[in-house]
A and B are shown apart, each in its own frame.
Chain A
């Protein structure tokens, strides 16, 4: 089971990090969320995997580890606050700068200004792609 959990955390990290490295703010927010899942799970399993053990005091002889649980609980809430902040920052940046690129400017544009005709073909291409999807 440990192996499975470790792999799952690894995959979550992989997809989260990959998305964090993308150039669009929303992808980065998605990545951050995935990455925080991974981190929360990682912190949580540091208390080891316990099946069916209580976290509430009772007659039981062994308990699960409450410390990482308490840490992760606040981490979840704070994580939500930070995700919300990043999202709204992205929203504001998109409104102010007219771009949702993480650097605030479109980097992929060619250095030379494309002529009107070229522009049109690009737009047409985009449209066609959109329809195809």
Chain B
């Protein structure tokens, strides 16, 4: 519970800064500090037992099937990191309160910071690898927000994107690595995984898992060759840099090295990969740092170099090296955070970070200068400061490795060279900024000391550096020991944290580094000239160009596949259909099956002939739209007759009425569309379309014929047997619609209603000019509503309504039903609209069409729900026979209510669609009429 509170407190507190956003920066900062302060108190309450080696762990099942549990684990290592995250986090919050100006989006900043803090806490406290990965990705995302906080700056946006791309890509590799580990070990729980080191190392997948995990680590911790994102992340506000690049974000990678040390380390693979990556990063970072003119740039490369040092230590094959690495993690976090803050103060007070301009600040800000000088000395490894102790350990460890054989001298030599440059750039940070002449062209002049409270975080951190440096055994020993033990997984080797170990090799190396560093700095002029002569490689430009190239490649490829041509897409779709059809028909040995053909009667043959002829004419005349439409209506009518001919009266009725409505709608639409289509397809295209269409046609015919001449087993018998017993109706088609498959029908009327409403949305606000002449130049009749038609329509309406009621009522037992009745009603009303106008009908209807359609769907649904309420499955129907006066015996089924819903939906939907199109022309016409 405590661990859950610890991890989730910052997430919950994310909203707090917004709540007090109007009350000024102090209130926001206090609200943001609340969660980390509570967290720190909770953490410290666990200190005694954790330092004794107790592991506090909780686990709640989350997605157990995936092996993902909400497990958290507090041991020495995670305690140390949580302490750094919360402690430095609090200092950064205090610092940021003064760093950010009133005009900036302060609340947003602190919210992002809390988000990041929570992600980091989750990462270090997670007891499950998948959970850890989730928090790992969260740190990438929230650091993206923080680095890109000044989103108005191009550099900030690009830097943030670069950081996200690199660390996010590494996160993907890490995910793959974790999956491999989980596959081998059989669990993602950290306790299981750490105990299975021998199993994994003996497994053939070990190198794969190692390389993938290391990719994640190296991208996150900015190791060569992925180090380039870190200097560009310096476009973040300085509190962010102080937090992300000293104690948290970049330390996540080395944290993972420490965490998985018992699992992955101890092999040649590990040694060579980790050690050499660390060594190269250490050297590149140290050398490049010296030549940076930007204060934060110098610190960024120095961070890269120190991360390389830590990685290198983890790679070495001695038990003591990880202890030194963890010690250096602590030391680096303290002095680097304070240095970033000092750099931020200088930037804040002078308006510049260019060390060629910033000189001689000692006179203006002696207090800050002293703090920065102490922290810088710690970075250089000057005795009596914490950096000296861990660097001494580092030198000593490089002397004690044996895997390189006769090249063992390589590591200590390289380490000393890196030490020389580290001293040189630290010296530059002190000398170039605080001495070395007078300031040149500073945007803000004269600079002065920052607000009192802005210096407090720096003071606290510098004090820690001094304390650890002078009294290591009393201050840091137990914390370091418990963290190292948790990382190693077994008892620690004997070691002694002391300042003085006597005259030995490490001391000599330190002295060489100090003296060499001073010499290098003194002789910097030729070195700078050499550096200037090097080809200028700007990682950001390369990165952006690579991105642009990839974007271009993708969009070009996409444009080729997805060229926006509907004809192309349909063509491909149809080709796929042809392939499937051919593949399905090929196994047939012959097309004709064993069933004998039914005899041909001449009338049907004639009908089919007319139908095919009309279809071909529709095709032939498709560019003369009215003619094509007439032909199409012929096809539709004969389709209805075909239905009737082959014993489907319901279908015939439906088709007949739908045909009328469809053709009416098409007539309306064709009026507003260009009357003719220009011939524009090339003959080649025609040939292509013709052959595709012909193949489809032939295949459909073959398929139909092949099916029709083969025996078949139908499920019809079930419906025929149960229609009367279960559904209470003799019209099996209707009973299937409203009872057996009522759920389908409900879906279908919903689609109808939705389509109708969608057409209303499409037609909204559309007004089309009506032409006075047709495409042949003949004037349209000036008479809007012909009287004869009006009279006739009025006469027909009651009759049509009567017919539809009749069709509806008998639908359950005879051909008919809600669909057909609804369509008949709709056609009668449409006729009235044609005769008198849409408005005339609508006002007399008294009910709006959308409501009609919606009430239909609702009634149908309610019918189903009632049976659900009564304890039957959805849409179960009940029926009974009643004797009504005058009419006689009648059967009433609840399915009839459902059918009523169908009826209303069909009426409402159809009228909605047709009157919608009718309205757009009338709107213009009306003023003429008035």
The CA-CA distance from A26 to B814 in the complex, in Å, is 38
The CA-CA distance from A73 to B906 in the complex, in Å, is 13
> When A15-B693, A88-B762 are in contact, do A30 and B628 touch as well, CB less than 8 Å?
yes
- The answer to whether A92 and B763 touch across the interface, beta carbons within 8 angstroms, is yes
> When A29-B666, A64-B647, A72-B651 are in contact, do A57 and B618 touch as well, CB less than 8 Å?
no
Chain B residue at minimum C-beta to C-beta distance from A104 = B564
Which residues of B in the span 682-724 have a Cβ within 8 Å of any Cβ on A?
689-690, 692-694, 696-698, 700-705, 707-709, 712, 714-716, 719-720, 723-724
Mark the stretch among B13-21, B277-285, B289-297, B595-603 that contacts chain A. B595-603
Say what secondary structure dominates the interface of chain B. Answer: helix
- The answer to whether B745 and A1 touch across the interface, beta carbons within 8 angstroms, is no
Residues of chain A at interface, number, CB under 8 A? 88
Is B566's CB within 8 Å of the partner chain A?
yes
- The answer to whether B662 and A9 touch across the interface, beta carbons within 8 angstroms, is no
Residues in chain B near residue A91, CB distance under 8 A: 669, 672-673, 762-763, 766, 917
B649-663 Cβ-contact flags toward A at 8 Å (1 or 0): 111001100100110
Residues of chain B at interface, number, CB under 8 A? 114
A1-19 Cβ-contact flags toward B at 8 Å (1 or 0): 1111111111111111111
Is A67's CB within 8 Å of the partner chain B?
yes
Partner of B598, one of A30, A51, A58: A51
Residues in chain A near residue B564, CB distance under 8 A: 103
Is B913's CB within 8 Å of the partner chain A?
yes
Chain A residue at minimum C-beta to C-beta distance from B568 = A103
- The answer to whether A66 and B672 touch across the interface, beta carbons within 8 angstroms, is no
- The answer to whether A55 and B732 touch across the interface, beta carbons within 8 angstroms, is yes
- The answer to whether A89 and B615 touch across the interface, beta carbons within 8 angstroms, is no
The CA-CA distance from A49 to B646 in the complex, in Å, is 6
Is A78's CB within 8 Å of the partner chain B?
yes
Partner of A78, one of B677, B692, B748: B748
Is B608's CB within 8 Å of the partner chain A?
yes
- The answer to whether B716 and A63 touch across the interface, beta carbons within 8 angstroms, is yes
Partner of A56, one of B658, B732, B909: B732
The CA-CA distance from A11 to B611 in the complex, in Å, is 9
Residues in chain A near residue B745, CB distance under 8 A: 74
- The answer to whether A21 and B567 touch across the interface, beta carbons within 8 angstroms, is yes
Partner of B600, one of A4, A26, A79, A107: A4
Which residues of A in the span 99-133 have a Cβ within 8 Å of any Cβ on B?
100, 102-103, 107-108, 126, 130, 133
Residues in chain A near residue B423, CB distance under 8 A: none
Say what secondary structure dominates the interface of chain A. Answer: helix
- The answer to whether A55 and B913 touch across the interface, beta carbons within 8 angstroms, is no
- The answer to whether B646 and A82 touch across the interface, beta carbons within 8 angstroms, is no
- The answer to whether B570 and A10 touch across the interface, beta carbons within 8 angstroms, is no
Which residues of B in the span 592-630 have a Cβ within 8 Å of any Cβ on A?
597-601, 604-605, 608, 611-612, 615-616, 618-619, 622-625, 628-629
- The answer to whether A78 and B635 touch across the interface, beta carbons within 8 angstroms, is no
- The answer to whether A15 and B651 touch across the interface, beta carbons within 8 angstroms, is no
- The answer to whether A18 and B690 touch across the interface, beta carbons within 8 angstroms, is yes
> When A15-B693, A26-B625 are in contact, do A66 and B612 touch as well, CB less than 8 Å?
no
Residues in chain A near residue B670, CB distance under 8 A: 26
> When A15-B619, A65-B714 are in contact, do A90 and B636 touch as well, CB less than 8 Å?
no
B564-598 Cβ-contact flags toward A at 8 Å (1 or 0): 11110011001000000000000000000000011
Residues in chain B near residue A40, CB distance under 8 A: 639, 655
> When A17-B574, A42-B704, A87-B669 are in contact, do A73 and B654 touch as well, CB less than 8 Å?
yes
> When A55-B649, A56-B732, A74-B748 are in contact, do A18 and B635 touch as well, CB less than 8 Å?
no
Mark the stretch among B69-77, B128-136, B309-317, B749-757 that contacts chain A. B749-757
- The answer to whether A81 and B646 touch across the interface, beta carbons within 8 angstroms, is no
Residues in chain B near residue A25, CB distance under 8 A: 673
- The answer to whether B736 and A57 touch across the interface, beta carbons within 8 angstroms, is no
Residues in chain B near residue A17, CB distance under 8 A: 574, 692-693, 696-697
Chain B residue at minimum C-beta to C-beta distance from A33 = B632
- The answer to whether A6 and B733 touch across the interface, beta carbons within 8 angstroms, is no
- The answer to whether A56 and B730 touch across the interface, beta carbons within 8 angstroms, is yes
Residues in chain B near residue A81, CB distance under 8 A: 751-752, 755-756, 909, 913
The CA-CA distance from A9 to B746 in the complex, in Å, is 30
- The answer to whether A14 and B697 touch across the interface, beta carbons within 8 angstroms, is yes
Residues in chain B near residue A4, CB distance under 8 A: 600, 604-605, 608
The CA-CA distance from A31 to B818 in the complex, in Å, is 28
* B593 CB, nearest partner CB in chain A, Å: 10
Residues in chain B near residue A87, CB distance under 8 A: 665-666, 669
Residues in chain A near residue B768, CB distance under 8 A: 95
- The answer to whether A57 and B708 touch across the interface, beta carbons within 8 angstroms, is no
Chain A residue at minimum C-beta to C-beta distance from B916 = A88
Is A97's CB within 8 Å of the partner chain B?
no
A57-85 Cβ-contact flags toward B at 8 Å (1 or 0): 11000011111011011101111111111
Which residues of B in the span 803-852 have a Cβ within 8 Å of any Cβ on A?
813-815, 819, 823
Is B119's CB within 8 Å of the partner chain A?
no
Chain B residue at minimum C-beta to C-beta distance from A74 = B748
Partner of A23, one of B680, B705, B766, B913: B680
Residues in chain A near residue B194, CB distance under 8 A: none
Partner of B751, one of A46, A47, A78, A108: A78
- The answer to whether A70 and B741 touch across the interface, beta carbons within 8 angstroms, is yes
* A34 CB, nearest partner CB in chain B, Å: 6
Is B507's CB within 8 Å of the partner chain A?
no
Is B759's CB within 8 Å of the partner chain A?
yes
- The answer to whether B696 and A56 touch across the interface, beta carbons within 8 angstroms, is no
- The answer to whether A5 and B704 touch across the interface, beta carbons within 8 angstroms, is yes
> When A40-B639, A51-B598, A77-B658 are in contact, do A88 and B913 touch as well, CB less than 8 Å?
yes
Residues in chain B near residue A77, CB distance under 8 A: 654, 658, 748, 752, 819, 823, 906
> When A2-B597, A67-B714 are in contact, do A15 and B616 touch as well, CB less than 8 Å?
yes
- The answer to whether A10 and B701 touch across the interface, beta carbons within 8 angstroms, is yes
- The answer to whether B598 and A85 touch across the interface, beta carbons within 8 angstroms, is no
Is B642's CB within 8 Å of the partner chain A?
yes
- The answer to whether A14 and B673 touch across the interface, beta carbons within 8 angstroms, is no
Chain A residue at minimum C-beta to C-beta distance from B698 = A10
Is B678's CB within 8 Å of the partner chain A?
yes
Residues in chain A near residue B598, CB distance under 8 A: 1-2, 49, 51
* B632 CB, nearest partner CB in chain A, Å: 6
The CA-CA distance from A49 to B666 in the complex, in Å, is 31
Chain B residue at minimum C-beta to C-beta distance from A42 = B704
Partner of B762, one of A63, A92, A108: A92
Most A CB within 10 A of own CB, among B599, B709, B733, B758: B733
Residues in chain A near residue B645, CB distance under 8 A: 51
The CA-CA distance from A54 to B723 in the complex, in Å, is 14
* B482 CB, nearest partner CB in chain A, Å: 69
* B891 CB, nearest partner CB in chain A, Å: 13
Residues in chain A near residue B571, CB distance under 8 A: 21
- The answer to whether A92 and B766 touch across the interface, beta carbons within 8 angstroms, is yes
* A73 CB, nearest partner CB in chain B, Å: 5
Chain A residue at minimum C-beta to C-beta distance from B697 = A14
Chain B residue at minimum C-beta to C-beta distance from A65 = B716
* A58 CB, nearest partner CB in chain B, Å: 7
Lowest 6 A-B CB distances belong to which pairs? A10-B701, A14-B697, A18-B693, A6-B705, A108-B680, A57-B730
**New A-B pairs, 10, CB < 8 Å, besides A4-B605, A42-B700, A73-B737:** A7-B608, A10-B697, A12-B611, A23-B677, A23-B681, A42-B703, A51-B647, A66-B732, A69-B651, A91-B669
Chain B residues engaging chain A, CB cutoff 8 angstroms? 564-567, 570-571, 574, 597-601, 604-605, 608, 611-612, 615-616, 618-619, 622-625, 628-629, 632, 635-636, 639, 642-643, 645-651, 654-655, 658, 661-662, 665-666, 669-670, 672-674, 676-678, 680-681, 689-690, 692-694, 696-698, 700-705, 707-709, 712, 714-716, 719-720, 723-724, 730-733, 736-737, 741, 744-745, 748, 751-752, 755-756, 758-759, 762-763, 766, 768, 775, 813-815, 819, 823, 906, 909-910, 913, 916-917
Q: List 17 A-B contacts (CB under 8 A).
A: A11-B612, A12-B615, A14-B693, A15-B619, A17-B693, A29-B666, A33-B636, A34-B615, A65-B716, A67-B716, A77-B823, A77-B906, A84-B913, A88-B916, A91-B673, A95-B768, A100-B674
